[in-house]
Amino acid sequence: TATTEIYTLSLHDALPIWGRSRRPPKDEFNSMISLGYSLLMNEVYCKIEMKGLNPYFGFIHRDAEKHPTLTSDLMEEWRAVIVDATVMSMINGHEISKDQFYFDMDEPGCYITRDGLKIYLNKLERKFQTEIRYLKYTDYAVSFRRAILLQMERLTKAIEEGDADLYEPVIIR
């Protein structure tokens, strides 16, 4: 039946004609992207606070009341390689199905079910634990979670020493 059909989306099919939708997301793809970005934002926010920085004082994003602009700035380095890649992997790998989402008429939008959430969170957590070599200043692999912390340490050092060159954004090969 249509409700148990496994996704067989191409990249083009995964991006609906109306593009990115949020608050609320209008389709399954945007539902996973929005949730992932929220989780990544919390991860980055925690690392910023651990280093004693102000998450509400950023460099790139426009200041908005009650919005942690530094968090938004710093998560840009990670969103495609962590969240977008995880969502596309799940779709292309047929790891999540349409029946793990529902549409709410009272609060219009597409939402992930409890079962879908469990699958998604497990996959995203494995991604955070994946070891990578994206940081030029380490000669060893670190998890994405550790890499985010190391980037916060570099930013803190750059601010403390007044030398912007000490911070290098992550470049994904």
SS3 content of the chain, % helix, strand, coil (to 5): 55, 5, 40
pLDDT of residue 171: 76
For the chain, the residue count is 173
**% the chain with pLDDT above 90:** 45
- pLDDT tens digits, 113-137: 999 999 999 999 999 999 998 888 8
pLDDT of residue 62: 62
pLDDT of residue 169: 84
List residues bridging with 102 in a β-sheet: 111
pLDDT of residue 127: 97
pTM for this predicted structure: 0.81
* Best CA proximity match to 167, nearest among 158, 138, 70: 158
* Best CA proximity match to 29, nearest among 79, 72, 73, 91: 91
- pLDDT tens digits, 18-70: 455 566 888 889 899 999 999 999 999 999 999 888 887 766 656 666 778 88
pLDDT of residue 154: 92
Residue 114's alpha-carbon distances to 44, 99, 100, 118, 120, in angstroms, are 25, 11, 8, 6, 10
> What's the rounded mean pLDDT across residues 80-98?
92
Average pLDDT, the chain: 83
C-beta neighbour count of 122 within 10 angstroms: 11
